[in-house]
Amino acid sequence: MIPFKVPLRDMRFLMNEVFDYPSHYAALAPQNPADGEPATPELVDAILEAAATYCEEVLAPLNVSGDREGCQFHQGEVRTPTGFKEAYAQFVEGGWQTLAFPTAYGGQGLPMSLNLLKSEMLGTANWAFNMYPGLSVGCINTLLQYAPESIKQSCLPKLISGVWSGTMCLTEPQCGSDLSQVRTRAVPTGDGHYTLTGTKIFISSGEHDLTENIIHIVLARLPDAPAGTRGISLFLVPKFQFDAQGQLGARNSVHCASIEHKMGIHANATAVLNFDAAHAILIGEPNKGLEAMFTFMNTARIGTAIQGICHAERSYQGALAYARERRSMRSLSGTKEPDQVADALLWHPDVRRMLLTQKAIVEGGRAMVYAAVQISDRVFGAAWRGDHAAYRAGDAELGFYTPILKGFLTELGVEAASLGIQVYGGHGYIQEHGMEQILRDARIATLYEGTTGIQALDLLGRKVILSTRGQCVRDFTSRMRRLATPHLLRTDTLGRLARAAWWRAWQWDRLTWRLLWRARKDRDSIGAASVDFLMYSGYVMMAHCWLQQALVAEKALTQGQDADFYRAKLETAEFYFSRLLPRADAHLLAARASTQTLMQMSEARFGAPS
């Protein structure tokens, strides 16, 4: 397996030159509700360097071995692969879980975006490992916003330190994304607590040996709850009960019945959990559990979007190294390496097409995520200081990004992982080089936290049509036009990119208006068009991010800086606009197609096994 290197140069380019994180962090400091020290450029750089060392030297070497050994299940207990406990102990000792949480509960009080950027590094090095502390982040955020102060004082210091971990428990055997079918019941005991009974499946990090306690955030129904999603409440169910000081008590009646045998991510335990009158604590208001859970889910969905970038980056690094070393045939335009038996794969146009596709996905997708996580800083800061108006405004803006990032970037992450195997040819299909593991691990990202179809319905049905009547799209396309307009009359490559971006902004507005109009008469049109609308939105949003990078790179080149790096940015942007952005046209046509082409076939005409 090719050694992993954290792409610090590209990360710093986006943070310091494209999105101006130093100014962003300076603006956050005066209103920082977490009361931590300012995120100065020097501190941020030290964090990035230390995280990179930990990822490259500790986590990355465990990625392949962890996959091959997997988690071991025996009588309700799970043992993580060799080296994971030691790596997690270093994670806790390094204070990595504490970065972005309030100092009042043991955190460092730094911006949430730093935690998400750290997660990118950890996830690219070893996604299965990253999931153990990653699930805890959403648990912590949910408790910070909705739990009573007594629970915060007893529970959060342990979670924030990493001594405890957390999960989210939604899915049940009879329901996945349709949470209206949740059957898990919580019965009040009369002392302010509850007993919770039911089964939850597909619980990532649901049982393991890395922490002394696991805090499960569980959706369940009260006895008098109304039917449907309006009757769901949210509960805290610990593996071990604890007192007001966070000291562990008796084992709770929640047990792991089994762990799943999965296509990938073998080193992370996906558990079936049985709750048998387990001691539970209500979080938030009765019957308003989904509202609280969405704090957890939005965090998880951004993390899943990052997974698309992680797998694309890891696959690109492996494929690029192989394409430089492996030799096959001669270049069509003439011999490039006459002293070798054949030319390197890198000289062949189709190999370059695959590598540039991976590169464009990684660097364009990373820019999309880095733009969004700046919003998360404002959202979580407003939530922690109790500024409800600012929270709602920021959450609505972040909510527009979330389904696009999660749906679009995970789909492209799978594509990039598949291309990595293709570059290797037959060698990519075998275990030796680790490329097939990347594809197996990447595949789940399009499924959990809501499939691509669910993300698409959330985007088009809830965010665009119901919540904003298209205003969220118009707000973003206005930013696209403001960036592109000053460059429309240029005759160079950047002029062509700016005109293409401006045109796509207009086209996106028009498509949105057309789907809004159609949905008034044909409700099925929302589901029929939603995935193509999401993918179209993703390609256009990425185009905007590539134009941002290209403009910054051009300016740096005129100043004589790091010519190869900035020239590569410009050339990758040109590749994206020429070779990947045209895919949006197919999604545009499909989104506009008649609903009848999907719905006219009767059930019988689908056919049946003979």
Catalytic residue numbers read 449
The pairing of strands 233-238 and 240-242 is unpaired
Q: Determine the angle formed by the axes of helices 127-146 and 62-69, rounding to 10 degrees.
A: 90
Q: Determine the angle formed by the axes of helices 493-519 and 563-575, rounding to 10 degrees.
A: 40
Cα three-residue angle 138-143-148, rounded to 5 degrees: 175
Say how far apart CA 413 and CA 404 lie, in whole Å.
Answer: 13
CB of 381 closer than 8 Å to CB of 362: no
CB of 111 closer than 8 Å to CB of 100: yes
Q: What is the DSSP string of 155-191?
A: HHHHHHHTSEEEEEE--BTTBSS-GGG---EEEE-SS
- The token duo for 520 is 């008034």
Say how far apart CA 239 and CA 207 lie, in whole Å.
Answer: 9
- The token duo for 554 is 């051009």
Q: What are the distances in angstroms from CA 437 to CA 1, 72, 211?
A: 11, 19, 26
Residue whose C-alpha is closest to residue 376's, from 129, 141, 45: 141
Going 198 to 304 to 357 to 431, the CA torsion angle's sign is negative
Residue whose C-alpha is closest to residue 529's, from 457, 436, 440: 457
Say how far apart CA 236 and CA 607 lie, in whole Å.
Answer: 46
Residue whose C-alpha is closest to residue 325's, from 344, 352, 351: 344
Say how far apart CA 372 and CA 403 lie, in whole Å.
Answer: 12
- Which residue's entry shows tokens 């490559």? 493
